[in-house]
Structure 1
């Protein structure tokens, strides 16, 4: 059997390894010449995952049985569309993928299903936004991008034109969604839909890089598990089931981003995929459930049962950002692993990659997993790590953004 895997990042390495264990011949499609997942695939095509005609052509010439992806929205759309055209099995249809990856259609489904979400307006022209029925601050997003690309906050009417223009520059279709900013704690909800029934796996808290001048939203760490009150957990499980019903999801992983506050839970966005940023590893550490393995069980029509353990430790997945520069090396990670300061490290960039900045999730150098029984233990490890590592540029200068906030501090 043969399978195409779209995108060659760290999370796709986990998928490629599991496919290899099943003796599946793997074909990686990624526009990079040397993506980090390339050594784990049998063949690599240097083609964009968004080049639909090329993906279909490769699938035909290679006579593949599956077109797969994990952790990325736009590749999900291509996998669903190409699979449908070629008569290959994929757990969601192209129409479903459109609703799950395009924020315009997603918000429409959420609104029609009366699911809690912020008021919004969608347009390809800033003049046509219905701002008179929305309250500032507002968040502008491209309807068809991912990794927080193009997401920016507008505090007042004076910010609107620049925010709209910025968001539109990241949209393939030139369409922008503008929605009310809802205050509260941002949470990431990982779930799995099995035979149309929603199973809650893990709730984690997402913290963003912040600063006086920042208006973008790059996640700098996930803290898990996040405890909800019994009332909110019951509400969340009900929301997940309503999402499965509204989007007609039968068998699939499900990722939901939401804001929780005293008024309840408000959905930001969602997708029928596994979470990125090595989330699969965080979920397995805490619950014992491998979401990528679960995804493959769905693909191969195998029985999937959800049995979760209760790990008493607390975890932080810390993402490593740098100032702009050429990433040519790093120091201290092996020491931190040896001293058990960190549990694991997941590198997302190859040495020799130019890093443009720290404005979205795709700018991350790596993800680092911490664990501890108490907040004090975690904070001690975070401080030790911060003092121990360097990310080196072509001048051997450290470009790592040090000063990782301790838990409980403003991030």
Structure 2
């Protein structure tokens, strides 16, 4: 029998092994770290890449802490995961590892706490009211008395636009509350004023903080399907903001990062430009963005953000992290369908086919697929690079003419 040799590599604990998180496991291994994975799903893809796997929920703080102690890890990361981010900060604080403050991570991970923080530090925020998921429509309408309609109703702890509804009149409130409640883990919902946009796109993407200062500005315009308007279907660089709008957004985000005491790492942002070019920060996620945003930004900037995240979590220097987009034209498209059925593939226009340089497809032909009402229903992601701004703008304005997903709806999503 071959003698087992102890693995002396420094260990990194990764929380979550979904398809989008596998990239962090692979990069960590390339960096020379031993990878320890926790996930509550036994069949998660990441377990086939990690050095060791523990069937543990990433939101069970004490169980994850026990794994971290047993495996003697030196760092912990919740790559691209909102629910697991507070767990990562908790474990890191308990074990004296490098982390952003747990209190700040909890604020960023809970919309009601985040809105309260914005108000307390004097940054723009919509009027909002939080309440338990069991509240009746009549009770919520009393809470929002004096608010300007429409309202946005959503869970305080979800991501990827899951459970979000825009309510234009009181008769829609019961359905919105039911939808939000079904997607809530903590049982707390929020209703807030809908912000009318002075800039046509929501501004999203990721920023990277080094020593408390934002050094990497991966701000992009969020692309949405007009028939599924609340769920992002891609990101495009550059953001399209004017110089004045961009300056205000940067100033607001830096003030917010400083007020939270964020020291390092990649943060996911979502900003709406309201009347008077006032930037409203809807989200400041305590982790890298989903839909492979770090990969897209890495392609555009030449900076490996996944590697930077991994190295920061281990307390190692990630090297130079500094970037502001200039003369680059990149976009992603989240493959999706607005009807249930069987996936039959996708087609690209001639121009899109030339621009497409990477495809990541989650579903095989013949697989059942469902109406796109959240990021978890994505079928894959396409990556595009355009040589000229004209072709880039044409793609953004006419995406449905450039990408077509084929679904046989006669099967109704059943094999």
TM-score (norm 1): 0.84
Question: Secondary structure, in 3 states, of the residue corresponding to 1:357?
Answer: coil
In the alignment, the residues of structure 2 paired with residue 349 and residue 84 of structure 1 have an alpha-carbon distance, to the nearest angstrom, of 39
User: For residue 192 of structure 1, what is the aligned residue in structure 2?
Assistant: 208
Distance 1:336 1:16, change over 3 A: farther
Distance 1:321 1:298, change over 3 A: same
Note the C-alpha offset of 1:250: 1.4
Note the C-alpha offset of 1:309: 7.0
**1:307 is the counterpart of 2:307:** no
Note the C-alpha offset of 1:9: 2.6
Question: Secondary structure, in 3 states, of the residue corresponding to 1:73?
Answer: coil
Among 293, 302, 310, the residue aligned to 1:279: 293
Note the C-alpha offset of 1:237: 1.7
Distance 1:96 1:295, change over 3 A: same
Q: Which has the higher mean CA deviation after the structures are superposed, 285-294 or 100-109?
A: 285-294
In the alignment, the residues of structure 1 paired with residue 38 and residue 368 of structure 2 have an alpha-carbon distance, to the nearest angstrom, of 21
Question: Secondary structure, in 3 states, of the residue corresponding to 1:11?
Answer: coil
Distance 1:261 1:80, change over 3 A: same
Asked if the contact 1:203–1:227 (Cα under 8 Å) also holds between the matched residues in 2, the reply is no
Among 271, 278, 283, the residue aligned to 1:258: 271
Note the C-alpha offset of 1:39: 2.9
Question: Secondary structure, in 3 states, of the residue corresponding to 2:239?
Answer: coil
Note the C-alpha offset of 1:90: 3.9
Q: CA RMSD in A?
A: 3.1
User: For residue 6 of structure 2, what is the aligned residue in structure 1?
Assistant: none
Note the C-alpha offset of 1:172: 1.8
Question: Secondary structure, in 3 states, of the residue corresponding to 1:132?
Answer: coil
Aligned residues, how many? 391
User: For residue 183 of structure 1, what is the aligned residue in structure 2?
Assistant: 196
TM-score (norm 2): 0.84
**1:245 is the counterpart of 2:262:** no
**1:366 is the counterpart of 2:374:** no
In the alignment, the residues of structure 2 paired with residue 338 and residue 189 of structure 1 have an alpha-carbon distance, to the nearest angstrom, of 22
Deviation sequence 1:359-403 (CA, Å, 0-9, x none): 10111011111121346535579678635x6568997x999xxxx
In the alignment, the residues of structure 2 paired with residue 58 and residue 172 of structure 1 have an alpha-carbon distance, to the nearest angstrom, of 23
In the alignment, the residues of structure 2 paired with residue 52 and residue 394 of structure 1 have an alpha-carbon distance, to the nearest angstrom, of 45
**1:209 is the counterpart of 2:217:** no
Note the C-alpha offset of 1:181: 0.6
Distance 1:241 1:295, change over 3 A: same
**1:7 is the counterpart of 2:16:** yes
Note the C-alpha offset of 1:239: 0.6
User: For residue 403 of structure 1, what is the aligned residue in structure 2?
Assistant: none
In the alignment, the residues of structure 1 paired with residue 370 and residue 38 of structure 2 have an alpha-carbon distance, to the nearest angstrom, of 23
User: For residue 269 of structure 1, what is the aligned residue in structure 2?
Assistant: 283
User: For residue 19 of structure 1, what is the aligned residue in structure 2?
Assistant: 28
Deviation sequence 1:283-325 (CA, Å, 0-9, x none): 1122222222222332233344333375634122100113335
Asked if the contact 1:141–1:176 (Cα under 8 Å) also holds between the matched residues in 2, the reply is yes
1:18-37 equivalence runs, <5 A: 18-37=27-46
Asked if the contact 2:223–2:235 (Cα under 8 Å) also holds between the matched residues in 1, the reply is yes
Question: Secondary structure, in 3 states, of the residue corresponding to 1:141?
Answer: strand
Question: Secondary structure, in 3 states, of the residue corresponding to 2:97?
Answer: coil
In the alignment, the residues of structure 2 paired with residue 196 and residue 296 of structure 1 have an alpha-carbon distance, to the nearest angstrom, of 18
User: For residue 3 of structure 2, what is the aligned residue in structure 1?
Assistant: none
Deviation sequence 1:70-119 (CA, Å, 0-9, x none): 1111111111122323x141421321211110111111111111111211
Deviation sequence 1:249-270 (CA, Å, 0-9, x none): 1112222201124422111121
Structure 1: give runs of 5+ residues left out of the alignment: 400-411
User: For residue 344 of structure 1, what is the aligned residue in structure 2?
Assistant: 358
In the alignment, the residues of structure 2 paired with residue 139 and residue 180 of structure 1 have an alpha-carbon distance, to the nearest angstrom, of 6
Distance 1:161 1:90, change over 3 A: farther
Asked if the contact 1:10–1:346 (Cα under 8 Å) also holds between the matched residues in 2, the reply is no
In the alignment, the residues of structure 2 paired with residue 243 and residue 221 of structure 1 have an alpha-carbon distance, to the nearest angstrom, of 25
